[in-house]
Amino acid sequence: MGSITAAADAVIETIDLSAYLSSDDPIVRKATADRLVQALHKQGGCGLVGHGLTLKAIHEALTRSKEFFDLPLDQKQTINHPEGILPHRGYSGVSREKIRVYTEDELQSMSGELGATAKKAMDWKEHYDIGSDYEPEHHNRWIDKALLPGFQPFMSDFITQLEQLHTNVLNAILLGLEVDPISADYFRGLHTHHNSGIRLLHYPSMRESEIDRTSTTWCPIHTDFTTFTFLIQDENQGLEIEDRTNKTPNTFVAANPSIPDRLWLTIGDFGEIWTNGYLPASRHRVVIPAPLPGSGTDMTSNRYSIPYFLNPRHDGILEPLGTGKPATMPRDRYKKMKVRDHIEFRMKYQYTDPTK
């Protein structure tokens, strides 16, 4: 499992974007862009504050997500994820048994196959994928308005706000990478087709005494197949990002929730390939938080998180940008291929541990 460094903030930097977003001074904007790119070059991920999303919007997104997952299973299943992988839309529960939140008594009385399955942490999550309403080909699967009034307009608007943020961050990264204007325009153009979306995630609580922490996580070590990902998480610790500067392999640091409006930005596979490895894909995982101290219970917390996946056009070509900082990296490390082909390749092996 590797080790965990408590002082995450000493290792994974948090970048304040406010000067970049609000200043007209190109020197100030470039300085922030450089800090962002430096942090991502070093670790493949960083914290983000001053990003323009309000704490109120972040809280509301998490609250509405919880309200969705609190619905009875049969209502959530009315918007089940359709067959196929591109793109993700709708609700995915693993099975009726696995996504139920069991009481302590129920867990205690479970036996045989059901008990074993229910306690298998790897499957212990449910999620709901929502894309942009401006993406013309694939339609969202919205829950009945009467069940969750205001849910749909809020989430649609929230995704639009995240799209604006991804555009700002993409521009800051391009500025910091110092790629030429033609390459920058090409790269930007790969990300203007509303292919991105959010995943509402719920990890139900588990019995601590049933968890084998030497081998179990909520989500094993992986990289995302995105250009980059923003992660919003609630107050329960879960995300851990690899400390690439540590010589001990598989050393992870907790992306801690101590700053309530901090997002976590992690570079994905496409970001790494396009920048020729200058911005490495972040290896990360999600671990099960321990029960809250003093809570007097053996049950871990429910955890809610919302990743926003920045996806390029699926017919885009993956090929390193040959200018600016990406051009300083060794050549020919990445095979030229279509975005869609890489996604299909990765889907075959999703969430297998790349270290094994």
244 close to 43: Cβ distance less than 8 angstroms? yes
The answer to whether residue 272 forms part of the interface with Fe ion (CB under 5 A) is no
Q: Give least dist CB 130 to Fe ion, A.
A: 17
Task: Read off the DSSP letter of residue 226.
Answer: S
Strands 14-16 and 45-49: parallel
Q: Give least dist CB 133 to Fe ion, A.
A: 24
Residue 234 tokens read as: 């609630």
The count of C-alpha atoms lying within 13 angstroms of the C-alpha of 68, restricted to the half-sphere facing its C-beta, is 36
Q: Which is nearer to Fe ion, 163 or 224 (CB)?
A: 224
Task: Read off the DSSP letter of residue 239.
Answer: E
Number of residues that bind Fe ion (CB under 5 A): 1
Task: Read off the DSSP letter of residue 236.
Answer: S
**Interface segment toward Fe ion; rule CB under 5 A; list 34-42, 157-165, 180-188, 220-228:** 220-228
Q: Give least dist CB 268 to Fe ion, A.
A: 8
Q: Which is nearer to Fe ion, 126 or 224 (CB)?
A: 224
**Interface segment toward Fe ion; rule CB under 5 A; list 36-44, 68-76, 109-117, 222-230:** 222-230
Q: Give least dist CB 238 to Fe ion, A.
A: 11
The answer to whether residue 224 forms part of the interface with Fe ion (CB under 5 A) is yes
d(CA 187, CA 317): 10
Q: Position of tokens 């010589």?
A: 247
Q: Which is nearer to Fe ion, 135 or 224 (CB)?
A: 224
Where do the DSSP E strands lie in 204-283? 219-222, 228-233, 239-242, 252-254, 263-267
Q: Give least dist CB 348 to Fe ion, A.
A: 17
Q: Give least dist CB 218 to Fe ion, A.
A: 11
**CA 85 → CA 124, 222, 311, distances in Å?**
20, 18, 13
**Interface segment toward Fe ion; rule CB under 5 A; list 33-41, 92-100, 223-231, 330-338:** 223-231
d(CA 156, CA 84): 23
**Radius of gyration for the chain, computed over Cα atoms and rounded to the nearest angstrom:** 20
**Interface segment toward Fe ion; rule CB under 5 A; list 111-119, 148-156, 221-229, 271-279:** 221-229
Q: Give least dist CB 94 to Fe ion, A.
A: 18
Q: Which is nearer to Fe ion, 183 or 256 (CB)?
A: 256
Q: Which is nearer to Fe ion, 281 or 318 (CB)?
A: 281
**Interface segment toward Fe ion; rule CB under 5 A; list 96-104, 219-227, 323-331, 346-354:** 219-227
Question: What residue number has its CB nearest to Fe ion?
Answer: 224
Residue 345 region, left (φ>0) first, then alpha (ψ -120 to 50), else beta? alpha
Kindly write down the DSSP assignment for every residue of 107-152, as one continuous string.
HHH--HHHHHHHT-GGG--EEEEEE-TT-SSS---PPPTTTSTTHH
**Interface segment toward Fe ion; rule CB under 5 A; list 36-44, 152-160, 224-232, 233-241:** 224-232
Q: Give least dist CB 281 to Fe ion, A.
A: 10
Q: Which is nearer to Fe ion, 91 or 264 (CB)?
A: 264
Residue 209's contacts (CB-CB under 8 Å, 6 or more residues apart) are 298
Q: Which is nearer to Fe ion, 102 or 264 (CB)?
A: 264
Q: Which is nearer to Fe ion, 224 or 272 (CB)?
A: 224
Q: Give least dist CB 295 to Fe ion, A.
A: 28
159 close to 198: Cβ distance less than 8 angstroms? yes
* Element counts in the chain: helices (H) and strands (E): 12, 15
Q: Which is nearer to Fe ion, 134 or 351 (CB)?
A: 351
The answer to whether residue 129 forms part of the interface with Fe ion (CB under 5 A) is no
Contact residues for Fe ion, defined by CB under 5 A:
224
